[in-house]
Amino acid sequence: MDVVEIWDLEDSIARLGEDYLRRVFTVRELDACDDGRDTRRLAACFAAKEATLKTLGIDDDDAVDLRSVEVVLAGIESELQLRGQSARLAERAGISRLSASVGATARYASAVVLAET
């Protein structure tokens, strides 16, 4: 599980702009979030990425490219697609499928990730 303060994400976008968005989110995630303008949905994606890294046993965001975890937003239960190092770690752990439940209020976004083996 992970919880994100939406203002924190907005602050990162304000300070780092497009570079931040392209470093953290995939093109498909940005498209699903109104080209990066829907910060509530972006924060929910970020929370799902963080919760996924925790599920994989990664405690350092810099250790993995955050774009290697892609959140496919689909209502209450969202699919997670892994690439690169994230996919290898999931395979090594015997994880066959990951899904996430995401949500957001005006102030917080959260995600819970379920790993199936």
**Domain of residue 98, CATH code:** 3.90.470.20
| Percent of the chain clearing pLDDT 70 (strictly above) | 96
pLDDT value at 48 more than 90 = yes
pLDDT value at 100 more than 70 = yes
pLDDT digits (tens, 9 = 90+) for 59-88: 776 678 999 999 998 766 788 999 999 999
Q: What is the pLDDT of residue 63?
A: 79
Q: What is the pLDDT of residue 10?
A: 97
Q: What is the pLDDT of residue 58?
A: 86
Please count the structural domains in the chain. 1
pLDDT digits (tens, 9 = 90+) for 30-43: 999 999 899 999 99
Average model confidence (pLDDT) across the chain: 92
Q: Which domain holds residue 34?
A: 2-116
Q: Which two tokens stand for residue 106?
A: 């005006």
Compute the distance between CA of residue 84 and CA of residue 56 in angstroms, rounded to an integer: 13
Buried b (16+ CB within 10 A) or exposed e, 94-108: ebeebbbbbebeeeb
Place of tokens 């975890």: 69
Is-contact 71 100, C-beta < 8 A? Answer: yes
- Percentage helix, strand, coil, to 5, in the chain? 50, 25, 25
